[in-house]
Chains A and B, each alone.
Chain A
């Protein structure tokens, strides 16, 4: 609970999280917990086909069923144009979002929503769904990304012409775009190379696996004003998407954020919210909709799978002279895979003078992909970091030494253009090398893998307010759902600036009508950007407190200094003015001008890039092919850990999710494109008993653009594990598997055929 020797009183200490008691006592209100008088239940009819044209939908029998209050189909939604427009901070094609929410003309994956019903009970809603008659013309489908790129593949969208190709193709295909980044002269670089590693890798789409399924309550009043309660990664995102999809004013929708039971990027879009809103509008009743786990798997977005070709060229001393990657990422039913960040991050850890990355965004008959921690980066890191391991083996170099030799530093030019600002990659490598884990002995059938990873982290728009209460306590208001302990971080930073006890600062996450716009919780931006807004708002409060003290002392505000929650006369003042605490100034606020409240609305630039290096030990059973992770250490530059425990939690959680991605997780489809494993029994995510304690080392190289040095921490830790695990398995089993997951049957086959 102490400050562990840092220079701050609160920042960097391990305080109890403000939402902790509610969560451990079951009092926290999640999306599915909210109830309203007269509330009815909404359910979704989903496509049984992977690809089909909808000839007709007959809802008459369902509508006649007693207890059914409303039915919606795509006909109840505006037919939006297909155009990419600015949305929040990233481009959005709202037609695609609309058509993913409820199918129009075609279903593009098994589980695609076709209609929704609201009824007075779940049983009646289910019965009504069974009465809806949909006439489908079943079409050929394609699941795999490489198959979807073939000339003879079934085409999902008749108007999808590949962008980024000159001249533009004349016919539609499943390749939405081609993007290329180039640095230096790649051919010349490979011409100078003395060692070349060239490999192909594949990864599978994996789900974020949040414990809480999507859930919403929507209520539309008689005057058309809509209120939505839901768990998401952004109440403003939900408002924006619902408004755009239904052609409503932002001001006519109020979104109240619930507690969120995990998101990891998967709750940065809408699925149920527009349906619930329209069902409520048609029925005149509040409507609650909750996905089953099966629906979460069949209808919400995992991250992409991909096919990646990597080529690395180096000198005999390990110096990288050229690097090339071509990757194709599966976007699911609509364009929008993270192929571009996959390209941009691929070689960001290294100072490579000649590099190229080409990315393809490819649609196929699977759920539209969604963000998942560091979207796109884990896949390309798996490929590049695996190839780096083979390069180290070929050169007989220590894998950390190879990375140190080529590590990006401040001033290193990234493939995507700019030079790196202040970063701490070298520091993570040195800390990993010095860690006892790295030199610990291994037993037979055990292997040790190392891999590194990078993520940009982002800033963006955030709003915050700090209100001083009459008794000297304070409330911190921000607009970002807390998915990783951010309320504690906001309170710590406010307490530090105000100079009052952390326990006297209460942070809340406000609804869209109660705080200024805030971009969603994602991109590891909240502690950085919203934290900056909170610091600015708290500094605004301090300015007001100094002004109030100046009033009471009848002096200029410049003669008042603020330190440790107390107003002091400035140095050199020799009169009899005494100190005034925040509580004393708050108590006299009515006499000095009224309530004291600070606010800040910012667009934060300067997010500090993050780097991490992971060490993984596995033990392989050569008779079954099972790999067990027996020791794992995460080293990451966190800039400044505002709340060290929650930073460590992010590092551990990211590592575990990456380990699951590497070893077990995959979607299994039958020959009709139907998902065979839509549940946690058959979709195998790691559980606590599968894992050793994940050790963490937080390197702190402060980000100079944040008042406390914050860098985002939530995404970097999922980038290295795929390769760290694969490299450990390769060294333990003496055979390398370049196709994920490295499941027991796959590894056993590799062992038997080596």
Chain B
């Protein structure tokens, strides 16, 4: 087994948190204009629950019509997708195609 890097306590630094980044228009509607938020969550559902606590109505707003991008991968119907301590999370309009 490869030992963890020195000073990490066997994993990522405890203070590391996922970053949620919102488009300005989305932020104006849901977070009072805050576009970058640090959230300590291990999966998508927990992340949304925390955002909803801070910004009531957030969970309902992202319950449909949106997809989520976690570290560059787009998920159309997220629920328990893992969130890492350094993950970047974006909310996007739901995507379709022809």
Contact residues of A with B, CB < 8 Å? 84-86, 89-91, 164, 166, 179-182, 208, 264-266, 268, 303, 340-341, 344, 371-375, 416-421, 455-461, 522-525, 603, 605-607, 705, 712, 714-715
Q: Which of A180, A421, A458 is in CB contact (< 8 Å) with B23?
A: A180
- What would be 24 A-B contacts, judged by CB atoms less than 8 Å apart? A86-B65, A90-B65, A90-B94, A90-B95, A180-B25, A265-B97, A344-B92, A371-B97, A371-B98, A372-B98, A373-B97, A417-B69, A418-B72, A418-B88, A418-B90, A418-B92, A458-B96, A460-B76, A522-B96, A524-B97, A525-B97, A605-B76, A605-B81, A715-B98
**Mask of B61-98 contacts with A, CB within 8 angstroms, 1/0:** 00011000101111111100100000010111111111
Least CB distance from B87 to A in Å reads 11
Question: Does A90 contact B96, Cβ atoms closer than 8 Å?
Answer: yes
Residue of A nearest to B72 (CB): A421
Chain A binding site: helix, strand, loop or mixed by DSSP? loop
Q: Which of B64, B74, B93, B96 is in CB contact (< 8 Å) with A179?
A: B93
Contact flag A522-B97 (CB < 8 Å), given A86-B65, A89-B76, A605-B75:
yes
Residues of chain B within 8 A of A266, CB atoms compared: 98
Residues of chain A within 8 A of B98, CB atoms compared: 208, 264-266, 268, 303, 371-375, 522-523, 714-715
Least CB distance from A683 to B in Å reads 19
Q: Which of B78, B81, B97 has the most CB of A within 10 A?
A: B97
Q: Does B41 interact with chain A (Cβ within 8 Å)?
A: no
Question: Does A179 contact B25, Cβ atoms closer than 8 Å?
Answer: yes
Contact flag A89-B88 (CB < 8 Å), given A420-B72, A458-B97:
no
Question: Does A603 contact B77, Cβ atoms closer than 8 Å?
Answer: yes
**Mask of B18-33 contacts with A, CB within 8 angstroms, 1/0:** 0001011100110000
Q: Which of B23, B81, B90 is in CB contact (< 8 Å) with A182?
A: B23
Residues of chain A within 8 A of B96, CB atoms compared: 89-90, 268, 371, 375, 458, 522-523
Contact residues of B with A, CB < 8 Å? 21, 23-25, 28-29, 64-65, 69, 71-78, 81, 88, 90-98
Query: How far, in angstroms, from A91 to B93 measured CA to CA in the complex?
Result: 10
Residues of chain B within 8 A of A182, CB atoms compared: 23-24
Residue of A nearest to B23 (CB): A181
Question: Does B97 contact A455, Cβ atoms closer than 8 Å?
Answer: yes
Residues of chain B within 8 A of A523, CB atoms compared: 95-98
Query: How far, in angstroms, from A371 to B73 measured CA to CA in the complex?
Result: 23
Residue of B nearest to A87 (CB): B64
Question: Does A421 contact B64, Cβ atoms closer than 8 Å?
Answer: no
Residues of chain A within 8 A of B78, CB atoms compared: 605
Residue of A nearest to B97 (CB): A523
Residue of A nearest to B81 (CB): A605
Least CB distance from B57 to A in Å reads 16
Residues of chain B within 8 A of A603, CB atoms compared: 76-77
Residues of chain A within 8 A of B92, CB atoms compared: 344, 416-418
Residue of A nearest to B65 (CB): A91
4 further interface pairs, Cβ-Cβ under 8 Å (given A522-B97, A705-B73): A340-B93, A371-B98, A373-B97, A524-B97
Q: Which of B23, B71, B72, B90 has the most CB of A within 10 A?
A: B72
Query: How far, in angstroms, from A89 to B97 measured CA to CA in the complex?
Result: 11
Residues of chain A within 8 A of B93, CB atoms compared: 179, 340-341, 344
Query: How far, in angstroms, from A266 to B88 measured CA to CA in the complex?
Result: 35
Q: Which of A89, A181, A715 is in CB contact (< 8 Å) with B94?
A: A89
Residues of chain B within 8 A of A372, CB atoms compared: 98
Least CB distance from A243 to B in Å reads 18
Query: How far, in angstroms, from A416 to B95 measured CA to CA in the complex?
Result: 12
Query: How far, in angstroms, from A303 to B96 measured CA to CA in the complex?
Result: 14
Least CB distance from A370 to B in Å reads 8
Contact flag A419-B72 (CB < 8 Å), given A89-B96, A164-B25:
yes
Query: How far, in angstroms, from A167 to B25 measured CA to CA in the complex?
Result: 12
Residues of chain B within 8 A of A456, CB atoms compared: 74, 95, 97
Question: Does A341 contact B95, Cβ atoms closer than 8 Å?
Answer: yes
Residue of B nearest to A181 (CB): B23
Question: Does A421 contact B97, Cβ atoms closer than 8 Å?
Answer: no
Residues of chain B within 8 A of A455, CB atoms compared: 97
Residues of chain A within 8 A of B91, CB atoms compared: 417
Residues of chain B within 8 A of A461, CB atoms compared: 77
Query: How far, in angstroms, from A522 to B92 measured CA to CA in the complex?
Result: 19
Contact flag A605-B88 (CB < 8 Å), given A90-B94, A264-B98, A371-B98:
no
Least CB distance from B89 to A in Å reads 9
Least CB distance from A342 to B in Å reads 11
Contact flag A91-B95 (CB < 8 Å), given A84-B65, A180-B24, A419-B88:
no
Contact flag A421-B95 (CB < 8 Å), given A91-B64, A180-B24, A416-B90:
no
Query: How far, in angstroms, from A85 to B97 measured CA to CA in the complex?
Result: 18
Question: Does A605 contact B73, Cβ atoms closer than 8 Å?
Answer: yes
Question: Does A374 contact B74, Cβ atoms closer than 8 Å?
Answer: no
Q: Which of B28, B72, B81, B96 has the most CB of A within 10 A?
A: B96
Residues of chain B within 8 A of A86, CB atoms compared: 64-65
Residues of chain B within 8 A of A606, CB atoms compared: 73-74
Query: How far, in angstroms, from A715 to B96 measured CA to CA in the complex?
Result: 11
Query: How far, in angstroms, from A524 to B97 measured CA to CA in the complex?
Result: 7
Least CB distance from A188 to B in Å reads 15
